[in-house]
Structure 1
Amino acid sequence: ALIGGTRLAFADDTLAEIKKRGELTTATEMQFPPFDISDNGVYKGVDRDLVDAVAKEMGVKVSYLDLPWTSVLPGLEAKKFDLCIAPVTITKERMKRYAFSVPIADATAALMKRANDASIMKPEDIAGKTVGGQKGTSQVEQLKAFAAKLPKPVEVKEYVDNNQSYADLAAGRIDASVNSLPNLQYAAAQRSDAFAVILPPFGQPTYFSWVARLDDKTLMDAINAAILKVEADGTMGEIQKKWFGQTTDLPKTVPEPSI
């Protein structure tokens, strides 16, 4: 009972410490447009706009760390910062280890090809081809599961970040790239001469969320309350229109993961 009480007190202390110092410390990888972008050293994107609005609701300032994706969740567990604002796909395994916020965006896995490639018209057409994606993402894992059901094997190349995958796709070194649908739609819109999204998405409907340590329930409750307030007052819709060109209704609670 004493140990349990100590754990609860420690969990409560994270939010209390944030309030005391007046700052929420966050981390992401700033190579994941349109969610996280480093523009000549200036941090921009969906997550930047949204976390600024959330922190304002909480009455605190916010700081941002730029880390490689493979270092973000380990850094959270090591208590190097308070909140991971890198979009994390809600999965059954991750829910065992982290506290998830209500969804901040769609995360359904999809594919992108070269705009002039008529050999891929639907997701199943990647059979026998090479597809790239970011190492350590649920989208790559979903791709592997999807590819295993196809009549010809798919070579999956894993990259440090999605920009490398997109560069190899444009250069013809791979045949397609995997990512979430919003990321690919943004990339294709920026370079419509080079890229086209393959529709429909091949993945099961999933969502992106922010994550905290599993013990930090009080902090996540405060984050969720602020996100829902930002949704209700129209700020979320403005952010979506700015970066996605349209608004999307999102679940108001953490959904049961499908993957």
Structure 2
Amino acid sequence: MKRMLRNLTVLASLGMTLCSFTAPASAAAETLRFGVAAEPYPPFLVKTPTGQFTGFEPDLIRALCEQMKAECEIKEVAWDGIIPALLANKFDVLFNSMGISPERQKVIAFSRPYYETTGIFVAPKNVKVTLTPEGLAGKSIGVQGSTTNAEFIRTAYGNASNIRIYNTQDDCNADLLAGRIDVMFLDKLGDIDFLKSEDGLAYEEKGTGSVKMDPLLYGLGIGAGLRKSDTALKVKIDQALTQLHDSGKYTQISEKYFPVDLWPQ
């Protein structure tokens, strides 16, 4: 998303749930554990009532594992504790819309970017908003916490606006629908399902705002997080991502969920 600024110091109680899948039977018996946050983030990640993971990133994980001839499993992790869980060897690959940033690169390694996005303001269609710090002065802005978007909004709009931080994007959506916030700020690709829903039909994208987004937050793309010691695994994932794109498989997965190819240019 994201886009995401993790709490690097607090190891949350994880309460992990396991969902596994495997590459074809002929694949080599290398098991990789992919960590994702427990809450839904459609269309990137959704867990069905039967416990299956669907969405852009689970599909891409499966394709990666098939490309690498590896058996894989997905593990759910508490959102705020996902980096500490990776470092504690609770799983091997963090694959959950994490933005690559210099700050995070001090702690973990990243694969090559596998998609890129930016933030966007969303508000009711019948409400005119001026997306400057002055225009949003006194207004309530909702944003999901522990994200790059939250860091940007605090820095750019926090002096004059009331910033409301939410544990999940669903909670932020609910408060926008209830009128408890004036606008929300989220990933441009993350608002697709909301705006297509019955509840979201009265809302629209209002733009990115007047404040230039910090390229150190938004300019490096979204990558898979790994422990710095796992250099061989990073090479394998980088190669597999490139091969999926070159074969057209990546575009096939991307266009299943989005109107555009997400591959970083």
Q: Matches of 2:132 and 2:122 in 1, distance apart?
A: 9
When normalised by structure 1's length, the TM-score is: 0.81
Shift of 1:209: 1.2
Aligned twin of 2:164: 157
Q: 1:99 to 1:243 in 2, by over 3 A?
A: same
Q: Matches of 1:39 and 1:123 in 2, distance apart?
A: 39
Q: 1:101 to 1:123 in 2, by over 3 A?
A: farther
Aligned twin of 1:90: 100
Q: Which moved more, 1:108-117 or 1:175-184?
A: 108-117
Q: What's the RMSD between the two structures over aligned residues?
A: 2.0
Deviation per CA, 1:196-240: give whole Å up to 9, x if none: 112246534432111011111111111010000001111111111
- Within the alignment, does 1:250 sit opposite 2:264 as a pair? yes
Aligned twin of 1:173: 180
Q: Which moved more, 1:230-239 or 1:179-188?
A: 179-188
Q: Does the aligned pair in 2 maintain the 1:130–1:176 contact within 8 Å?
A: yes
1:10-89 map, 5 Å: 21-29=29-37, 30-40=39-49, 41-89=51-99
Aligned twin of 1:99: 109
Shift of 1:21: 4.7
The runs of 5 or more residues in structure 2 that have no matched partner are 1-26
1:127-142 map, 5 Å: 127-142=137-152
- Within the alignment, does 1:198 sit opposite 2:212 as a pair? no
Q: Matches of 2:255 and 2:117 in 1, distance apart?
A: 17
1:164 match: secondary structure = helix
Q: Which moved more, 1:56-65 or 1:242-251?
A: 242-251
Q: Does the aligned pair in 2 maintain the 1:186–1:244 contact within 8 Å?
A: no
Q: Matches of 2:142 and 2:223 in 1, distance apart?
A: 23
Q: 1:126 to 1:38 in 2, by over 3 A?
A: farther
Which residue identity does 1:141 align to in structure 2?
E
Shift of 1:123: 5.5
Q: Does the aligned pair in 2 maintain the 1:27–1:83 contact within 8 Å?
A: yes
Q: Does the aligned pair in 2 maintain the 1:123–1:200 contact within 8 Å?
A: no
Q: Matches of 2:96 and 2:106 in 1, distance apart?
A: 18
Number of positions where the alignment pairs a residue of Structure 1 with one of Structure 2: 229
Q: Matches of 2:258 and 2:194 in 1, distance apart?
A: 11
When normalised by structure 2's length, the TM-score is: 0.80
Deviation per CA, 1:69-96: give whole Å up to 9, x if none: 1121111011000001111111110111
Aligned twin of 1:240: 254
Identity %: 23
Deviation per CA, 1:174-195: give whole Å up to 9, x if none: 1122222111234223354132
Higher helix share: 1
Aligned twin of 2:155: 145
Q: Does the aligned pair in 2 maintain the 1:240–1:247 contact within 8 Å?
A: yes
Deviation per CA, 1:108-149: give whole Å up to 9, x if none: 12221123322x15455433211112221111001111115x
Query: What is the aligned counterpart of 1:219 among 222, 233, 236?
Result: 233
The runs of 5 or more residues in structure 1 that have no matched partner are 1-18, 252-259
1:209 match: secondary structure = strand
Q: Matches of 2:193 and 2:61 in 1, distance apart?
A: 20
Q: Does the aligned pair in 1 maintain the 2:86–2:94 contact within 8 Å?
A: yes
1:144 match: secondary structure = helix
